[in-house]
């Protein structure tokens, strides 16, 4: 495993006193999170869903687009968009989150896209299930991984690549995995993978390969960059680490009151108000959301709203009798496996940091 | 004038060696620029147009939305959305740019939304002209400014406010000023000012007040924060400065080849290629675009494409015979008044920095 970890240069970690670099700022200006006031909506309005694009957004002509399915199969398949959309159609509401969400809250800070809390969004995806297509291709015995390749091309830490991610065959055959061609009732926008992307409900965003062009079944483990190097929980450069897979639990709060432009500190009028937000987990159903108004020292249960589906966020609400003063509001989700950590779990590449949200509030 | 400049705390400028702060990063994660590969399109695809929201995105119910027009007029007007959309409809293609575009390239860096080059976008706006409505309200003699108030509310440098910007009456009566309710053929999305925003073709973005709720005619100069303090070209804290008004000329290049994820450095195969991009100016028509492949030491003319309208960007192209090596590509626009500066013109709040774009390219 060590040899594949060395594929490319090592991840850089900022010095303890090192502030955000021009490289990180350039990524932050291109990519964007979901402004947290959009937690108001079940489905994130178009243009507000978080967006992370590794290289450039490729503009793929839907008329000439083809999807090939091959590798360790008996009958390779080639489909155009008309053939794909003529297949059985499924709709599903899915909360997507970037595996790097929370990275810029780590200390020291791994240097990459510098997300704080907001790399999330929920959409209604429509597409056709992947599993029947894989079965029609005649999977041969011994299939291990399925590699999904996009049209996006670039270099990362010295490794030139088309964006590629593999899923274990048993995950790729999951009944909820889609080849999606619509987002919220419209064709996919270019930045979300037009004309077709993979949707793997419950998994972090790197899995949902955009601008999909090829699916290749392997009889061995995939050792490409995005699986073997990038999206892993590594303690240091010598640690091959564990793969990043399903989304860990997280709750976020709609910011109450109104903000200060520069600091985003919230100003709230004293009185009784209802705090609201959303919670989700790709690992197991969310069973509890708790609110703290004292920076995480004490917690009270919030009420959970209706579920929108197993892989969609769930609303929560909690009444707060706000008295004049300075507060740090925190919220944390617990799923059937466990709770969000109050303090972050550091790793070399800043992956899957689901530490609790902290929001500075002045009650006047 | 000095007293109004003191409205609120002063703008902060980072120390010469001070990197990007958490406050700036928080803004960069919420707001977003246009990924430069979207320079490909005449109209920026939905979700890729730059976005700057001072406070929170207010979610305004179109059914209960009302616009009031009053102040120094004979017959105040109140309109609902049906009444507004029943009025004469005009469509116009407009390139919008944030007045803070280029701020994070200044040294020392004014601390605010840290834009690099990408705070721009072009849309087809549909709406009804403002001037006939102002005339129907019975403008009284001595009207000086027209104040536009949005539903967005927050504090900025200690000043609590609804977002408000004024235009001189002669500009507000301009034939191309619109109350816009559609963007690229669809109702305005929440983040772009739903249900109605002001569009003032040729002016920087701060003028195009979103979530518009009130128009008030004044018989005196407006002295509110956004006009008297924020959007001014000030040399220092004691300088009242000149107002930021129309967009200065700028050209941008679609990044050639493919990028490195972290540095965004471009990799291009040696050979003859065509570089493309867009150029615009709100001040006067663009008459020339020039390309430099040696960091701005020498320049050659690019070819200009068809105009999409007086206030829309214009495409340009230039052939480049790329030979192996390291390059810094630059592009600059010239309008009928003058050229973009190669070096930035510093001001206290980092406004209207239209210095030329610089792009690092490796030809292999």
Whether A217 and A143 have beta carbons less than 8 Å apart is answered as yes
Cα–Cα distance between A195 and A76 in angstroms, integer?
Answer: 21
Q: What is the CA radius of gyration of chain A?
A: 21
Inter-chain touch A267–B54, beta carbons under 8 Å = no
What is the least distance, in Å, from the CA of B178 to any CA of chain A? 23
Q: Which of residues 127-166 of A touch B (CB under 8 A)?
A: 153-157, 160
Inter-chain touch B261–A31, beta carbons under 8 Å = no
Residues B39/B41/B44/B46 CA torsion (nearest 10 deg): -130
pLDDT of amino acid A18:
77
Residue A295 belongs to domain with CATH number: 2.60.40.650
Per-residue model confidence as pLDDT tens digits over B282-326: 999 999 999 999 999 999 999 999 989 999 999 999 999 999 999
Is residue A86 located within the same domain as residue A148? yes
Full DSSP string of B90-141: EEEEEEEE-TTTTGGGSSSPBSSS---S--EEEEEEEEEEHHHHHHHT-BPT
DSSP character for A195? T
> Across the strands, what pairs with A146?
A167, A217
Q: What is the phi-psi region of residue B110: left when phi exceeds 0, alpha when psi lies from -120 to 50, beta otherwise?
A: beta
Cα–Cα distance between B344 and B197 in angstroms, integer?
Answer: 31
Chain B hits for A262, CB-CB cut-off 8 Å, are: 23, 27, 111-112, 156-157
Residue A133 belongs to domain with CATH number: 3.90.420.10
> Residue A4: which residues within 8 A CB-CB, separation 6 or more?
A223, A228, A229, A240
Q: Which of A219, A243, A267 is the last residue of a domain?
A: A243
Cα–Cα distance between B165 and B168 in angstroms, integer?
Answer: 10
Cα–Cα distance between B189 and A25 in angstroms, integer?
Answer: 26
The pLDDT confidence band at residue B4, using thresholds 50, 70 and 90, is: very low
Peptide linkage before B330 cis (omega within 30 of 0): no
Would strands A212-218 and A66-71 be described as parallel, antiparallel, or unpaired?
A: parallel
Token reading at B120:
């721009």
What is the least distance, in Å, from the CA of B14 to any CA of chain A? 12
Answer whether A26 touches B (CB < 8 Å): yes
Residue matched to tokens 């610089």: B358
What is the least distance, in Å, from the CA of A198 to any CA of chain B? 20
> Residue B31: which residues within 8 A CB-CB, separation 6 or more?
A32, B50, B51, B52, B53, B113
Averaged confidence pLDDT in chain A: 95
Is residue A144 located within the same domain as residue A101? yes
Token reading at B257:
């080849």
A189: number of CA atoms within 13 Å, CB side?
Answer: 17
What is the least distance, in Å, from the CA of B217 to any CA of chain A? 27
More confident of the two residues A148 and B19: A148
Q: In chain A, which residue's Cα lies nearest the Cα of B40?
A: A59
Task: Indicate if the pLDDT at residue A140 is higher than 90.
Answer: yes
Is residue B115 located within the same domain as residue B207? yes
The pLDDT confidence band at residue B3, using thresholds 50, 70 and 90, is: very low
Is residue B238 located within the same domain as residue B166? yes
Q: Which of A183, A213, A243 is the last residue of a domain?
A: A243
Whether A215 and A146 have beta carbons less than 8 Å apart is answered as yes
Query: How many residue contacts between A and B have a Cβ separation below 8 Å?
Result: 171
Token reading at A165:
């991610």
What's the ipTM?
0.94
Cα–Cα distance between B225 and B157 in angstroms, integer?
Answer: 10
Is residue B262 located within the same domain as residue B154? no
pLDDT of amino acid B6:
61
Is residue B21 located within the same domain as residue B165? yes
Number of domains in chain A: 2
What is the SS3 assignment for A168?
A: strand
Q: In chain A, which residue's Cα lies nearest the Cα of B48?
A: A47
Q: Which of residues 286-345 of A touch B (CB under 8 A)?
A: none
What is the SS3 assignment for B262?
A: coil
- C-alpha angle with apex B351: B347 to B354, nearest 5 degrees? 100
Whether A86 and A151 have beta carbons less than 8 Å apart is answered as no
What is the SS3 assignment for A124?
A: strand
Is residue A225 located within the same domain as residue A101? yes
Cα–Cα distance between A207 and A227 in angstroms, integer?
Answer: 10
The pLDDT confidence band at residue B1, using thresholds 50, 70 and 90, is: very low
What is the SS3 assignment for A240?
A: coil
Whether A183 and A193 have beta carbons less than 8 Å apart is answered as no
Percent pLDDT > 90 in chain A is 92
Tell me how far CA of residue A11 lies from CA of A20, A157, B103, in angstroms. 15, 8, 29
CA-nearest of B363, B310, B289, B48 to B191 is: B48
Chain A hits for B192, CB-CB cut-off 8 Å, are: 47
CA-nearest of B306, B329, B335, B325 to B253 is: B329
Cα–Cα distance between B143 and B140 in angstroms, integer?
Answer: 6
Is residue A99 located within the same domain as residue A152? yes
> Across the strands, what pairs with A317?
A276, A303
Task: Indicate if the pLDDT at residue B362 is higher than 90.
Answer: yes
Averaged confidence pLDDT in chain B: 95
Q: What is the mean pLDDT of residues A30-47?
A: 96
What is the SS3 assignment for B268?
A: strand
Answer whether B262 touches A (CB < 8 Å): yes
Q: Which of B9, B12, B20, B29 to mutate to test the interface with A (most CBs of A within 10 A)?
A: B29
Inter-chain touch A190–B48, beta carbons under 8 Å = yes
Per-residue model confidence as pLDDT tens digits over A305-334: 998 999 999 999 999 999 999 999 999 999
pLDDT of amino acid A1:
38
Phi, psi of A256 (to 5 degrees): -80, 165
Whether B102 and B19 have beta carbons less than 8 Å apart is answered as no
Q: Which of A203, A226, A243 is the last residue of a domain?
A: A243
Q: What is the mean pLDDT of residues A255-266?
A: 97
Is residue B197 located within the same domain as residue B54? yes
> Residue A61: which residues within 8 A CB-CB, separation 6 or more?
none
Helix axes B22-30, A22-30, angle to 10 degrees: 20
What is the least distance, in Å, from the CA of B119 to any CA of chain A? 9
Residue A259: which domain range?
250-363
> Residue A64: which residues within 8 A CB-CB, separation 6 or more?
none
Cα–Cα distance between B299 and A45 in angstroms, integer?
Answer: 44
Cα–Cα distance between B337 and B339 in angstroms, integer?
Answer: 7
pLDDT of amino acid A103:
95
pLDDT of amino acid B86:
98
Is residue A262 located within the same domain as residue A160? no
Residues B107/B108/B109/B115 CA torsion (nearest 10 deg): 0
DSSP character for A150? E
What is the SS3 assignment for B88?
A: coil
> Across the strands, what pairs with A147?
A166, A216
Cα–Cα distance between A127 and A124 in angstroms, integer?
Answer: 10
Q: Which of residues 55-114 of A touch B (CB under 8 A)?
A: 55-57, 59, 104, 111-112, 114
CA-nearest of A312, A314, A313, A292 to A301 is: A292
Q: What is the mean pLDDT of residues A139-143?
A: 98
State pTM to two decimals: 0.95
Nearest to B30 among A33, A54, A157 (CB): A33
Whether B308 and B314 have beta carbons less than 8 Å apart is answered as yes
Chain B hits for A23, CB-CB cut-off 8 Å, are: 262-264
CA-nearest of A72, A352, A93, A49 to A199 is: A93
Percent pLDDT > 90 in chain B is 92
Is residue B204 located within the same domain as residue B309? no
pLDDT of amino acid B83:
98
> Roughly how many angstroms between the first and final C-alpha of chain A, as a whole number?
57
Task: Indicate if the pLDDT at residue A23 is higher than 80.
Answer: yes
Is residue B67 located within the same domain as residue B209? yes
pLDDT of amino acid A6:
61
């Amino acid at each position: 495993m060590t040899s594949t970890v060395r594929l490319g240069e090592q991840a850089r970690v900022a010095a303890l006193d090192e502030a955000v670099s021009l490289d990180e700022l350039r990524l932050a200006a291109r990519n964007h999170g979901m402004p947290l006031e959009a937690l108001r909506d079940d489905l994130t309005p178009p243009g507000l869903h978080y967006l992370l694009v590794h290289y450039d957004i490729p503009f793929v002509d839907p008329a000439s687009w083809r999807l090939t399915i091959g590798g360790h199969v008996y009958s390779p398949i080639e489909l155009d968009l008309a053939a794909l959309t003529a297949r059985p159609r499924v709709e599903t509401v899915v909360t997507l989150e970037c595996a790097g969400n929370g990275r810029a809250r780590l200390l020291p800070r791994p240097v990459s896209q510098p997300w704080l809390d907001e790399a999330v969004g929920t959409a209604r995806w429509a597409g056709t299930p992947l599993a029947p297509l894989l079965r029609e291709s005649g999977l041969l015995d011994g299939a291990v991984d399925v590699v999904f390749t996009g049209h996006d091309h670039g270099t990362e830490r010295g490794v030139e690549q088309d964006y590629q991610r593999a899923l274990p065959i048993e995950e790729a055959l999951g009944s909820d995995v889609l080849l999606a061609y619509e987002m919220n009732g419209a064709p996919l926008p270019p930045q979300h993978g037009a004309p077709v992307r993979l949707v793997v409900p419950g998994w972090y965003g790197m899995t949902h390969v955009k601008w999909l062009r090829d699916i290749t079944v392997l009889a061995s483990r995939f050792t490409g960059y995005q699986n073997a190097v990038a999206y892993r929980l590594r303690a240091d450069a010598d640690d091959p680490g564990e793969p990043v897979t399903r989304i860990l639990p997280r709750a976020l709060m709609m910011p109450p009151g109104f903000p200060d432009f520069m600091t985003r500190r919230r100003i709230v009028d004293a009185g009784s108000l209802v705090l609201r937000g959303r919670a989700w987990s790709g690992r197991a159903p969310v069973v509890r959301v708790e609110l703290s108004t004292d920076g995480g020292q004490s917690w009270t249960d919030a009420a959970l709203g209706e579920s929108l589906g197993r892989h969609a966020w769930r609303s929560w609400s909690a009444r707060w009798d706000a008295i004049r003063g300075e507060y740090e509001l925190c919220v944390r989700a617990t799923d059937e496996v466990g709770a969000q950590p109050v303090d972050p779990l550091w790793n070399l590449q800043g992956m899957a940091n689901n530490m609790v949200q902290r929001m500075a509030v002045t009650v006047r």
